[in-house]
Structure 1
Amino acid sequence: MPPPPLRFAANVGWLFTEGEADIWARCEAAKAAGFDAVEIPDPYGYWGRAGGPEETPRPPLPALPVALINSPRGDVAAGEMGLGALPGREADFLDSLQTAIAHAKALKCDRVHLLSGRLPPGVTREAQGPAMEATLVRNLLTASDLLAVEGMTGLIEPINSRLTDPRYFLDTPGQAARILEKVDKPNIKLQLDIFHCQVMDGNLTGNIRALFPLIGHIQVAQVPNRHEPSSQGEINYSYIFNLLQGLGYQGYVGCEYTPRESTVSGLGWLKEVRASH
């Protein structure tokens, strides 16, 4: 029996943004374009207050299943990008986790990307890394228990420090694998963005095969310009998609990229994947 076809989720923080400020309209556009699901990276301004979506009138559910949301970033004005690895901010992390769980429940989403956070300004990885890693491990253990009650999975994502975010704490797949080994919980998994993996490590075939047992979600974009998978760049996504399908990947493939022109005009690659699988 051939492996099932891959399923693709449109990240509506990046796609279908052309004149569509309303997140629900973007979800409708993703459905019309042939996506199987959506990622809503930041649902908090659209779906309830920080105390939980049950406190406000609920808009309709999105037109497609929600494959993924992110945890709250923290103090955005201060440049925060998550709280998971920040020593001394454990209480804030717990509050943000509870907010994320409430929103995920309302959206019927079972995966939450737990943002690790950035190194403080002027602090090196060598100096602060051990304390931040220990904090992240402790917070992920706490998250595992709370997410398990709801049947949810928590994800950690290495974000490259070469092109995208020089101060993001979790920046390589190897670092993420080490942390997941320490946590050792079945509902805390790896969110592997192949764009970030290529920028930091390359060796995509070897890395995907080695990391596959840890993977709970995958995202894609071309390197180096973070455009459509079919755009000119370093990654042969036809090969990558065949590899994932051959490995029996069952989750969604999140599409988190910047369209070169309009979102819809750049979706020829999706039609080609559908036709070839």
Structure 2
Amino acid sequence: DRTAFGAAVVRQLDDPGLRLLYDGYHMQLMEGDLSRTISDNLDLIGHVHTAGAPGRHDLDDRQEINWRAIAGLLARKGYGQWVGHEFVPRGEPVAALREAIALFNAGAARGVQNV
């Protein structure tokens, strides 16, 4: 559904073991405004999925989600839960995953420095 619906369910049930899996790829396609939505609901998010949009490809400059900025936002807000890189690499998979992890870690490092 939408983030607002999932967040409402988690808030109503009020169980610390229930959290949202925030799939950035799908949320970009369905509702956009990832930074605001993540900020507004970060206390309810237990897992973030990454993938480039469009196409579910690498986290590079050929897609519209700025994952480096999202990583910085998560770091600034103190997010300490899971992040899963869930994309279809254009090239060699291990190299693509290393690049995604490096990009995300660089964004997170920038986020921590800007606190």
Q: Which has the higher helix share?
A: 2
Let me know the Cα RMSD of the aligned residues: 1.7
- Which of 13, 19, 28 in structure 2 is aligned with 1:198? 28
How far the C-alpha of 1:262 sits from its partner, in A, is 1.8
- 1:159-178 matches, cutoff 5 A: 171-178=1-8
Moved over 3 A (4+): 272-276
Note if contact 1:222-1:231 (Cα within 8 Å) is conserved in structure 2: no
Structure 2 unpaired stretches of 5+: 110-115
Find the residue that maps to 2:19 and give its secondary structure. Answer: strand
Could you tell me which amino acid in structure 1 is paired with residue 75 of structure 2? Q
- What is the number of residues matched between the two proteins? 107
The match for 2:87 is 257
Note if contact 1:177-1:211 (Cα within 8 Å) is conserved in structure 2: yes
Question: Relative contact order: is structure 1 or structure 2 higher (C-alpha 8 Å, sep ≥ 6)?
Answer: 2
- Which of 54, 67, 90 in structure 2 is aligned with 1:224? 54
Q: Point out the structure with max Rg over C-alpha.
A: 1
Structure 1 unpaired stretches of 5+: 1-170
The yes-or-no answer on 1:215 pairing with 2:35 is: no
> TM-score, normalised on structure 1?
0.36
> TM-score, normalised on structure 2?
0.82
How far the C-alpha of 1:265 sits from its partner, in A, is 2.8
How far the C-alpha of 1:206 sits from its partner, in A, is 0.9
Note if contact 1:222-1:229 (Cα within 8 Å) is conserved in structure 2: yes
The match for 1:152 is none
For 1:241 and 1:268, the matched residues in 2 are separated by 14
Note if contact 2:46-2:82 (Cα within 8 Å) is conserved in structure 1: no
* Matched-pair identity in %: 33
Find the residue that maps to 1:219 and give its secondary structure. Answer: strand
